[in-house]
Structure 1
Amino acid sequence: MSPRVRWMGALSRRLLCPRQRPLYAANTLALHRHFTSKSHPPKICVVGSGPAGFYTAQYLLKHHTEVLVDIYEKLPVPFGLVRFGVAPDHPEVKNVINTFTQTARSERCGFFGNVTVGKDVTVEELQAAYHAVVLSYGAEDKRELGIPGEDLHGVYSARDFVGWYNGLPSNRHLNPDLSCDTAVILGQGNVALDIARILLSPIELLQKTDITQGALDALINSRIRKVWLIGRRGPLQVAFTIKELREMIHLPGTRPRLDTPDYHGLVDITKDLPRPRKRLTELMVKTSLEPSEKDADRWSKADREWGLRFYRSPLKVLPSDDGHKAAGVLLSVTQLEGTGENAVAVPTGQVESISCGLILSSIGYKSTPISPAVPFLAKKGVIPNSIGRIQESPGLYCSGWVKRGPTGVITTTMTDGFETAQAILEDVKSGILDFSESRLGAAAIKKSLALKEIQPISFSDWEKIDEVETARGLGIGKPREKILDPQEMLAIISE
């Protein structure tokens, strides 16, 4: 049997504060005390072990003393985008794994890795085995550019590139070509800045992280010295946050290229902006127009650079002479119609090109349908729902990116998961969810999997893999060295 892998959704840049919870939590804290005692505990399964799945499970277990929760995951390892999406030089963000581990170790929580819902087990089978099913499988697919040449060698999606340096098994053979001088990233969000930072970071900084050894070796030999981040709109519409921008501005050995004409006149506009956007814009203006003497001196000595190019939209990937590799990108010059977040970029008819050998598309992720039995809005890439309740599907719920789209940080996902979990508990209390009848839960699913010769991975199995990864990392001065091959993971478990 070949283990399957899947991208799990939920990328984030903030930590969960243990004392922080939404306003509605106080009411729900006492909710479980008012449930009518019934002979059978509610059995609920969660599909997906990223932040959305774990936060949903955590809330259910905390606010109902009898509920039993099982988490199903396509990969042999848990934690989704916390493991495979968070940048390796942001270890503090991964501390939420400690909270998720406590949840998984609960006597009322089960973990079943190496199980692909929709293939190894159907949603209908889960519905028959459990009182409620929560779909939290994230946004596992990439958005296409839809332009000529995007299939040329040297063009990659941000999703695949991040998966490559973070050890996602399906991306372990990506082998991106880093032999060129210039890279172009299409997009101006936090993921785009993450990639730019990884491409330009001093190797001695990356050597202390959990970046995969294969990616580290490739970056050691990289010839990339310049990275352009392209956006179809202007500085007032960038999607990255101030923390990530500040990191790029202060990245050792690099200098920013923020063209001054893009920032003229923005000072007067910033006073009317929301505070986060105001602070972000002020930092861009200061970096471009009023750098400190210390920064200017440091930048003058840098041998690598990155820059933001606004009002540009990709038209075509330009091929090399042999027609097989990317040699540049043709861009449409745009202008804005409207203002603020609602401004729309429209082409002016002018074009320009940038020569480059590496092009990374960072224009977002998208969810995919999991079963014909589950309604899905293909255009929006979400499951139609009301506060997590899937429309016209009693007993089916969703949380995370498949519920609201691929946006937000970890606190957004936390609140989202809590909201769905609260909706489930309210439905239990009101009788909408009937748990008067016993359900077999995991026992039924394990029996079905055994007939298909599929061996689910328990959380204790994962902890064996975790021990090996940590030991390998310790031997080379890293927090861990991730295992990339699912077959090797299974071999460790069977020892």
Structure 2
Amino acid sequence: MLPIARGLFSSLRAGPRPSGRLLKLRPPPIAKSSSALGQFRQFSSTRPKSARYFRFEVDPEQPLNYRRWSTGTQVFGGIVVLSVAYYVTHLETVPETGRRRFMDVGPKFETMMAEQSHHQLLEEFRGKILPPDHPLTQAVRDIVTRILDASNLGSLKADSTLKQQAGTPIEDSWHADVQTREGPVPGSGQREWRLIVVHDPKIVNAMASFGNIVVFTGIIPVARDEDGLAAILGHEIAHVVARHTSERYSSMKVLIAFATLLEVLGLDVGVARFLTTYLLELPNSRTQELEADVIGLRLSAKACYNPEAAPEMFNRMGKLEQAQGARLNVDFLYTHPTSESRVKMLEAFIPEARSIRANSSMCIGMQEQFESFQEATGPPDHPALMNPLKVAIIGGGPSSFYVASRLLSLVPPTGTQQLRAHIYDRLWSPHGLVRYGVAPDHPEVKNCTHKFDQAAQDPRLKFFGNVNIGGPTTSSPSAISVPIESLLSKYTHLVLGTGCTIPVLHSALPPSERCIPALEVVHWYTNHPSKPKAPPIDEAQHVSIIGQGNVSLDIARILLSRPEDLKQYDIPERVLSHLAKSTVKRVSIIGRRGPYEVAFTAKELRELLDLPGVVMDPLQPEMLQWRGDMKPTRQQSRIVSLLERGSKEKAKGPGDGFKSWSLEFFRSPTGVVPTPHSVSSNLELSLAHTTLDAKNKAVPTGATSILPTDLIITSLGHRSEPTAHWYDPGLGHVRNVSGRVIDERGNVLKNVYTSGWASTGAKGVLATTMMNAYDVAQTLLSDAREPMPEARAVMNGKVEEGTLDELPDEVKRGLETSRVITYESWKRIDEEETRRGTALRGKERERMEWNEVERYLQDAQRFNSR
């Protein structure tokens, strides 16, 4: 049986607390570093009876001297008052969570203890410490450094006592080119951390104290992967960030004082020890563990690790404890909460962690760094494929191209391993939301298309645009139709990357000419092939946008910008002409919750605040007050800080105050009625006033109000098409587990996968989409090498020799008539759009419509045939 060792803040827990004396009147000397890292969780006993302190001496045969008793009581009372005063004056708030605690240990003590415990660790584990150039050490160092860098927590120090074989300390830098925008956690930004990886597979443990991190190799199998190990290391680093070690040193004094008080009052030493342990010490320890779980989740998410890995890892840890009989399934006997409690709490914080990850500057920087690393190192050494792979990918957005590029990088182009990846898109142009979802004035977001261009140069990858797989479509009327059965019979694997293309509507706001989904507006200013009508902004002075996400702020920014400021960007001329006729003077952005719950990012808000000639309606200070139990996230704090700034500033540039916008918090639409006889507005929007309940959900207060407006735009998110294959209406996207598509009974479908928003719903940024797609590609290859026997087959799984490049008949005919667009054709169109934009006035590009594309390609074909 594997023993489960634990430091004070280990990720696994030992059995019930051993009996024995728990209180000493002074801390024990640090004989071993394990006791230092153990953070004195077990306090020692009182002194023997012969050395016990008596309140006063009395002769049992003499009557009690009242004056001596009174003096002793006064002295004792004075000590109690001074102790309480000392305790109160040394209370502080944990910056990361807002919890109040007693702390009387300073930074100098922590620095001294860090150095002392580090040397003791080196001595204790001498002969077991892996060298810095060992692959496991390097892997752990990379994760630790990434977590530290993402939150500006300090740097991982190269220890001069641990040399590489070449004789030089290991390099400390990782992601040096990524500039984090976060401020440091108070007191930790200049901290120097040390890491030791101990080779002991029997110890399933990791621990951290005073900036020293120890990882035992026995924890690696439990972590399983990089994300799981990041969850463990994030938890341990969180203990140091929250200064739990120093808190425990401080709380020792409280425990000693409490035990002494109980003994002075005549309580038996055993009872005093029991009360001290189970009423103070253990509950506080469990609180610290839960606190470290939350902080660790935020730290790992900020470093762009998958937050879902944390509850999964703690669940595995709980099963391991259960299998080894390491503890009973109760809390009060132990220093750590049960795994069930920890998993439940972590799952409650997953949405916040996802938001942190989606908005992390580290994720954006990692995208290019990870791709560069892959190119530099080449494909990893994997077992050979059993059969050739022919993968059909439905959808031509970023996730599909990332899946394809990852497959190409993992399967070498030479040798016996054969691979083909064919991307099908109903739109005639590739890149999905990058082309038809990104705001025109955000050209930097489209830089990922260079990666897609590079992947398309591999002859094993083919793109076929203007091909609709499955049922009818209105988003691309010109597309040819191909039954999905045609793909299932010609490919070994299928990947659904169809995204979320259907807007979520508000039940109280049915679509009409003056109540339109945000997706229609976005498709209008990006020249989507569905050809939506231009919004009636030439007949509106006030626009109400329902929803407070990035898309809402994008639309508000486009509507309030001066057309001349947009001319340089990738925005069609007909859109600019319509914007020039706009009469919009005011935009209200409405949300049912408050400023701390908004879905937009600080970047989008800052751009709207800095818009020339536009002013923000000031918010009342009480609206921006924090009312939560825990400290707001850095993202929330930045947003509120910007709102405070915007509430004080005036509009910049010409036309000062000419246009304005506002954020309407705690409002939820209940209906809309036209006002044809009104001079000031076309509509009356009914709003219910809301507040937040204990679960942070918006609930009505009973109050209502009317907002006169001219145009309503609903921006409430998106879902996959209900006709999509294996769509789940409850989820709003394709049913899947880790990218593997499942049917309505929960059975895994063999060789069928999904990636991007089709698998997760409409959330996350390009970096998270890339990582999700890479995971799906890795899963696909793993399953190809070791098939899942329990999976239900819906595809043949094999292709006949010589048919790797064979296409469905419908696609062949479309290629012959130039109705199907290849990537080579797209690049010619791309060059033509860029040329047209440059010819106008040096703008980014001028987009073409399908009828123009057809004529252009036909002309090019005739020219080439001469």
**Among 715, 722, 729, which residue is 1:378 paired with?**
729
1:71 has 2:427 as partner: no
Q: 1:196 to 1:112 in 2, by over 3 A?
A: same
Query: Which position in structure 2 is the counterpart of 1:20?
Result: 369
Greater shift, 273-282 or 131-140, is seen at 273-282
CA distance in 2, matches of 1:272, 1:355: 37
CA separation of 1:73/1:326 partners in 2, compared to 1, >3 Å: closer, same or farther? farther
Residue type at the aligned position of 2:536: P
Q: Which amino acid aligns with 1:386?
A: V
User: What is the match of residue 392 of structure 2?
Assistant: 45
Partners of 2:848 and 2:761 lie apart in 1 by 30
CA–CA distance in 2 between the matches of 1:270 and 1:176?
A: 45
The answer to whether the 8 A contact 1:60-1:421 is kept is yes
2:420 and 2:804 in contact (8 A); partners too: no
Deviations 1:122-142 (A, max 9, x none): 233212111101000101111
| Per-residue deviation, 1:76 | 1.0
Shift of 1:211: 1.0
Task: Encode CA deviations 1:238-288: one digit per residue, 9 max, x unaligned.
Answer: 00000000111111111111321453533x869812222222223223433
Contact 1:152 1:319 in 2 (8 A): no
Aligned pair partner of 1:83 in 435, 447, 456: 435
Which residue in the other structure is 1:236 paired with? 596
Counterpart residue number, 1:483: 848
- CA distance in 2 between counterparts of 1:53 and 1:438 reads 26
Is contact 2:650-2:657 (8 Å) kept?
no
Give the letter for the 2:369 counterpart: Q
Determine whether 1:276 maps to 2:624: no
- CA–CA distance in 1 between the matches of 2:619 and 2:739? 44
CA contact (8 A) 1:428 1:434 kept: no
Map of 1:35 onto structure 2: 383
Q: CA RMSD in A?
A: 2.8
Q: CA 1:440/1:91 → structure 2, altered by over 3 Å: closer, same or farther?
A: same
- Partner of residue 118, structure 1: 470
Offset at 1:158? 0.4
What are the residue-to-residue correspondences of 1:238-317 with 2, within 5 Å?
238-266=598-626, 272-288=631-647, 291=648, 295-296=649-650, 298=652, 301-317=656-672
From 35, 42, 61, the equivalent of 2:408 is 61
Picking from 799, 808, 812, the partner of 1:445 is: 808
Shift of 1:188: 0.3
Pairing 1:138–2:499 present:
yes
C-alpha spacing 1:430/1:164, structure 2 compared with 1 (3 Å)? same
AA in 2 matched with 1:359: I
The 5-angstrom pairing of residues 124-163 of structure 1 reads 124-147=485-508, 150-163=510-523
Does the aligned pair in 2 maintain the 1:41–1:435 contact within 8 Å? yes
- Is 2:741–2:754's contact at 8 Å kept on the other side of the alignment? yes
**Partner residue of 1:5?**
none
TM-score, length basis structure 1: 0.87
Distance 1:220 1:297 in 2: 20
Note if contact 1:159-1:362 (Cα within 8 Å) is conserved in structure 2: yes
Give the SS at the match of 1:482. Answer: coil
Distance in 1 (alpha carbons) for counterparts of 2:825 and 2:693: 55
Equivalent in 85, 99, 107 of residue 451 of structure 2: 99
Return the structure number with greater relative CO, CA threshold 8 A, min gap 6: 1
* Contact preservation (8 Å) 1:127, 1:395: no
1:105 to partner: Cα distance: 2.1
Q: Does 1:226 align with 2:586?
A: yes
Instruction: Please report how far the alpha carbon of residue 43 of structure 1 lies from its aligned counterpart in structure 2 after TM superposition.
Output: 1.1
**Number of aligned positions between the proteins:** 466
Aligned partner letter, 1:84: Y
Residue 362 of structure 1: aligned partner: 715
Whether the aligned pair in 2 keeps the contact of 1:317 and 1:326 (CA below 8 Å) is no
User: What's the CA shift for 1:355?
Assistant: 1.4
Q: Indicate the SS of the match to 1:443.
A: coil
Q: Is the 8 A contact 2:514 2:711 kept in 1?
A: yes
Q: Secondary structure at the match of 1:100?
A: helix
SS in 2 for 1:480: coil
- Deviation string for 1:324-351 (max 9, x for gaps)? x95231111111112xxx5111112221
**1:375-422 alpha-carbon deviations (Å, 9 max, x no partner):** 221122111111111113111100011100001111111111111111
Mark the CA change 1:269 to 1:480 in structure 2 (over 3 Å): closer, same or farther: same
For structure 2, the 5+ residue unaligned runs are 1-357, 413-417, 472-480, 743-747, 789-795, 860-866
Instruction: Report the counterpart of residue 4 of structure 1 in structure 2.
Output: none
| Residues 1:144 and 1:35: Cα distance change in structure 2 (over 3 Å) | same
Q: Distance in 1 between matches of 2:722 and 2:483?
A: 13
Contact 2:615 2:651 in 1 (8 A): no
State the AA in 2 paired with 1:20.
Q
Partner of 1:184: 544
2:701 partner amino acid: T
- What secondary structure is seen at the aligned counterpart in 1 of 2:783? helix
Write the distance in 2 (CA, Å) between the matches of 1:335 and 1:260. 16
Which segment is superposed worse, 423-432 or 303-312?
423-432
Residues of 2 paired with 1:281 and 1:152: CA distance? Answer: 35
Q: Structure 2: how far apart are the matches of 1:468 and 1:30? A: 35
Cα pair 1:16 1:96 within 8 Å, conserved: no
Query: What letter matches 1:393 in structure 2?
Result: L
Gapped runs of 5+ residues in structure 1?
1-11
The code of the aligned residue for 2:762 comes to: P
Q: Per the alignment, do residues 124 and 395 of structure 1 end up closer, same or farther by CA in structure 2, a change over 3 Å counting?
A: farther
The structural deviation recorded for 1:19 is 4.2
In structure 2, relative to structure 1, the CA distance for the partners of 1:18 and 1:146 (3 Å cut) is closer
> Partner residue of 2:834?
470
The secondary structure found in structure 1 opposite 2:734 is coil
- C-alpha separation between the residues in 1 aligned to 2:503 and 2:823? 29
Q: Can you list the C-alpha shifts for 1:126-184, whole angstroms capped at 9, x where unaligned?
A: 12111101000101111111125x33322111000010011102134335343221111
2:383 maps to amino acid: F
Three-state SS of the structure 1 residue aligned to 2:616 is strand
Sort the Cα spacing of 1:159 and 1:262 in 2 relative to 1 into closer, same or farther, 3 A: farther
* 1:332 has 2:697 as partner: no
- Taking only the aligned residue pairs, the percentage that are identical comes to 34
Question: Secondary structure of 2:669's match?
Answer: strand
Q: Is the counterpart of residue 416 in structure 1 residue 772 in structure 2?
A: yes
Q: 1:326 to 1:106 in 2, by over 3 A?
A: farther
CA-to-partner distance for each residue in 1:405-448, whole Å, 9 max, x for gaps?
00111111111111111100111221459557548355231456
Kindly provide the amino acid, as one letter, of the partner of residue 390 in structure 1.
Answer: V
Deviates more, 1:296-305 or 1:163-172: 296-305
**2:167 is the counterpart of 1:167:** no
Give the superposition deviation at 1:480: 0.7
* Structure number with larger C-alpha Rg: 2
Note closer, same or farther for the CA distance 1:223–1:242 as it changes in structure 2 (3 Å cut).
same
The whole-number CA distance in structure 1 between the counterparts of 2:579 and 2:572 is 11
Which amino acid in the other structure matches residue 807 of structure 2?
A
